[in-house]
Structure 1
Amino acid sequence: MDNTLYVGLSHQMVLRREMDIVANNIANSDTTGFKVESLMQKTDPRSPPFALGGSSPVKFVTADGVARDFGQGALRRTDAPLDLAIEGQGFFKVTAEGGERFTRDGRLRTDEIGRLVTQGGAAVLDDGGGEITLNPEKGQVSIAADGTVSQGDERVGKVGVFTFESLSALEKTGDNLFQNTSNLQAQPAAEARVRQGMLEGSNVQPILEITRMIEVSRAYERTSRMMDSESELARRTVERMGRAQ
């Protein structure tokens, strides 16, 4: 019976982690460029210390990583000249503290020296890996669908949009940024298009996430009831054995 309680406890630990992920999805349903996440699970067979006619091995529940849906979020118009959205697969490359990062968050601005940066201050890189600097005296900024940045008749640079052969290479690092944790090299996203004056919304579907939250909550309650029943059965068994003696 102890094995049953341990299995139930392992399931509850995974459910609590899943609840945290679902709650984070809901909290970021309005975050620009946020990608919905889900928890993967697997069984972890372990041999029990003893099994009096019970099943062997005992299969515990454990988390098997976090899956991320990089599907396109809805584009909304802002008409702000430094708001950019990527239509299609790809990421802006930026340089932040700790090295190169990638993001879909196109809420850009200029810093005190005119560099094009994210809201967090990470410099946006062009297609060759250099920074893009704007001069307010040169007029309005125009950004074409291929990422070319112009001021008046002068070409200032080209916003780089990159992708990977496998998006599993990217790991979330916070501040809506991703880090390449593999040996894969970022490649130009030739089919992606940059949309000026627009932002990509989160691809979270709040109704689905609320439904998931309810399902996780109910699963946790069912597991708790099962564990309570097993504990009660063990208590009664001990009492009966004590009276028999």
Structure 2
Amino acid sequence: MDRIVYTAAGGAARVLEQQAVLSNNMANVSTTGFRAELANYRSVPIVAEQGLPTRVGTVASTPGSNFEQGAMVQTGNALDVAITGEGWFSVQTPTGEALTRAGELAVNPQGLLVTQQGLPILAANNAPIEIPDRGTVTFTSDGTITALGAGDRPNDIQVIGQLKLSNPPAASLARGDDGLFRVQDPNAGPVREDPNVHMVSGFVEKSNVGAAETMVGMIANARQFEAQMQIIQTASTNAERANSILSSNG
């Protein structure tokens, strides 16, 4: 009975862990630039002292994220940008540089170009980008930023910087608790700019989470959890009956 209960309880716990990943994906189905987190089951043999497998347990592993590009939506907003194909924007966080695909930018009260979370977006020289007061901003495909100040003539347009566009190997990236990605090697130094990464302005990239697929996965997990609970209940009932038989025979 103990083996059945522990095996079923372990499976139920793993189902809950994967359900949490799917729930987080579903909650971010409308989050700009969000990358769906992957979660899989993996069997783990439980070996007895004699070295023979007695039963098999399961663990839920998160091998990474789905880095496929999400749908591109045209907004017409001059500060909305989206990377076409592979690549990342760099942002400044309290713990250092981080990477994001979210390109809904804004200008904060200090005149810095920031994300919707208020994080300064970095230029190619790893510095925040200052936007002229009431300036009209445009972006080119390589991330170059030009601005025309309020009241300036068209020929007074000036280049104020270039967005840092990079493309580190996907295997080297880890998602943080803040949803941003970072290079796992702490000694790797600043992420290098990649001239092969391009972007478009007036567009945003939506989440790459498939709502229907994620919902089906959540339903399947709920049924799997119910099956595990039924196994535990059946084992408990059988144990009670066995105890009752033994008591009556005594």
Cα pair 1:94 1:125 within 8 Å, conserved = yes
The CA deviation string for residues 188-224 of structure 1, in whole angstroms up to 9 with x for no partner, is 3333221111110000111101110111011111111
Match of 1:11 in 2: 11
1:133: Cα distance to partner? 1.0
Q: How does 1:1-245 map to 2 (within 5 A)?
A: 1-47=1-47, 56-136=53-133, 139-152=135-148, 153-174=157-178, 176-182=179-185, 183-184=187-188, 186-245=191-250
The CA deviation string for residues 47-68 of structure 1, in whole angstroms up to 9 with x for no partner, is 4589xxxx83332222223531
Cα pair 2:4 2:235 within 8 Å, conserved = yes
1:41: Cα distance to partner? 2.3
The letter of the residue matching 1:238 is N
1:168: Cα distance to partner? 4.1
SS at match of 2:231: helix
SS at match of 1:188: coil
Percent identity of the aligned residues?
A: 26
Deviating 4+ runs (over 4 angstroms): none
The CA deviation string for residues 121-166 of structure 1, in whole angstroms up to 9 with x for no partner, is 21111122122111135x4211000101012431111101112123
The letter of the residue matching 1:178 is F
Aligned in 2, Cα 1:219/1:66: closer, same or farther, shift over 3 Å?
A: same
SS at match of 2:176: strand
Over the aligned positions, Cα root-mean-square deviation in angstroms equals 2.0
CA distance in 2 between partners of 1:64 and 1:22 (Å): 13
Cα pair 2:64 2:174 within 8 Å, conserved = no
Aligned in 2, Cα 1:241/1:56: closer, same or farther, shift over 3 Å?
A: farther
- Note the residue ranges of structure 2 that are not aligned, 5 or more in a row: 149-156
The alignment covers a number of residue pairs equal to 239
Cα pair 2:173 2:181 within 8 Å, conserved = no
Cα pair 1:165 1:184 within 8 Å, conserved = no
1:173: Cα distance to partner? 2.9
CA distance in 2 between partners of 1:203 and 1:190 (Å): 24
- Note the residue ranges of structure 1 that are not aligned, 5 or more in a row: none
Cα pair 1:107 1:119 within 8 Å, conserved = yes
SS at match of 2:39: strand
Match of 2:151 in 1: none
TM-score (norm 2): 0.88
1:184: Cα distance to partner? 4.6
1:92: Cα distance to partner? 0.7
TM-score (norm 1): 0.89
